[in-house]
Amino acid sequence: MAASVLLIVGEQKKLLDEICTRSMALKPGSDSRDLGPVIDAQARDRIIDYINKAEADGHKILVDGRSWAKKNTKGFWVGPTVILFSDPKHPGMTDEIFGPVLSVYICKDREEAITIENNNPYGNAACIYTTTGENAEWFSKRFSAGMIGVNVGVPVPREPFSFGGINRSKFGDCDITGDGGIEFWTYRKKVTTKWASPEKKTWMD
């Protein structure tokens, strides 16, 4: 549920500066406010490859976490990384990197933003950050995702409602909580009977 792509509608320098400042303030460690290591060397190398490719292709590395891999020899570390992309179709924008990398793209308008969002084949969750109700409603109606957040970064609904996505983020026929969970664990048996006397005909004969 960690958001990996940020689409900014129009220039939002203050927002982007704040994201970079907070990212650079993170420290390696296991406390609640720290950033932990990735799971193994293969994951570390794969994440760093995405950063290297983005840089080689001319995109801006605003916060570079590759130095963590050199400084921390115990464990597999990649520091927080923020990349500003100029191409929304770059692998760093379309692939799930599964690492501490935030891919950022500045859209000219909300129509471009929703087109990029809905072109992604997955649809677990999508969020809109806004102070305007009209924008929140516009995006909520158009997001192609199973869980929507408005100013909520991890839009997992509370227990009575279903957790699950759509498109390629859906597995099986049901969600795993809420009514979907009840359906998943329900064993339905249907019995159809007919008790007419043998000598009598009915419309079912």
How does DSSP assign the chain, residue by residue?
----EEEEES--HHHHHHHHHHHHH--BSSSTTSB--BSSHHHHHHHHHHHHHHHHTT-EEEE--THHHHH--SSB----EEEEES-TTSHHHHS---SSEEEEEEESSHHHHHHHHHHSSEESEEEE--S-HHHHHHHHHH--SSEEEES-SS-PPPTTS----EETT--SSS-SSHHHHHHHH------------TTS--TT-
* Predicted local confidence at residue 171, as pLDDT: 65
pLDDT tens per residue across span 160-180: 777 777 777 776 666 666 777
* Predicted local confidence at residue 172, as pLDDT: 67
* Predicted local confidence at residue 200, as pLDDT: 67
In the chain, which residues have pLDDT < 70? 1, 171-177, 198, 200, 202, 204-205
* Predicted local confidence at residue 116, as pLDDT: 96
Listed residue (102, 113, 57, 95) closest to 79, CA to CA? 102
* Predicted local confidence at residue 72, as pLDDT: 79
* Predicted local confidence at residue 1, as pLDDT: 66
Residue with tokens 């080689």: 56
Tokens of 53: 């490719």
pTM as predicted: 0.80
The ranges assigned to domains in the chain are 5-185
* Whether CATH 1.20.58.220 fits 5-185: no
